[in-house]
Amino acid sequence: MKQIRPDLWETQSHSPFPGLNTHAYLWTSAHGENVLFYSPGTDADFGAIADLGGVARQYLSHRDEAGPMLAAIAGRFGARLHAPAAEADDIGRFAPVHEPLARRHVDDFGIEIIPSPGHTPGSTSYLVPGVSGETYLFTGDTMYTREDGGWAAGYIPPISDADRLAETLREVLRPLTPDVVISSAYQGEAVHPLGSEPWSACVDAALERLHADLGATRR
């Protein structure tokens, strides 16, 4: 486990297949119960997670994060699974979904649940209040950085819906004001502190690349 913020820890990297890397993130919330965002690839960090107080809740951004580790996390820590309602059937093949998420709202831990469809029908982002005053935005695969450091949208035909994804970027994610953006899958860096970089410019860059990719595929 790697500590990346006073209240945020990153699990070891996992590569489900060449060119794709993922992490999960443990948020040691001010409520005295820990939250795991995304899902680790193995149980290698379970001991460290236990030392930090375990996992009360796990939040998935979309169905691609579901797998056998969900049942392992629930069995070891008793975590309650929060996941997109639109993909609860797919996710539920691996572990029960205790809290299906279908609408935008702020829950009792102060986490804003933000439906972000397009990459998959149920893709969901999470805006989290960090203990030091920073705001963390977990985008799942809806937005991520490429190897060249540029921003991209998670468009994978025929799985993704390009129009819904573009609408999510413009209307849902662009107005947000995060301090740190954390994707699920990544090619460049999974954790991106924005500093003086405007988040709106990052979203615009992802939109521009999406439109360019769509133009190339439709020629």
Q: How confident is the model at residue 215 (pLDDT cuts 50, 70, 90)?
A: confident
The reported pLDDT for the residue numbered 173 is 98
pLDDT at 18 over 70: no
Ordered by start, the domain boundaries in the chain are 2-218
44 within 8 A of 57, measured Cβ to Cβ: no
Most confident of 90-94, 149-153, 158-162: 90-94
pLDDT in tens, 94-149: 999 999 999 999 999 999 999 999 999 999 999 999 998 999 999 999 999 888 88
Tokens at 95, concatenated = 């572990």
pTM given for the model: 0.94
Of 59, 67, 118, 57, nearest to 90 by C-alpha is 67
Cα(95)–Cα(70) distance, rounded to whole angstroms?
6
Average pLDDT estimate for 198-217:
88
Q: What DSSP letter does each residue of 155-183 carry, written as one string?
A: --TTTS-HHHHHHIIIIIITT---SEEEE
The domain made up of 2-218 is a member of CATH 3.60.15.10: yes
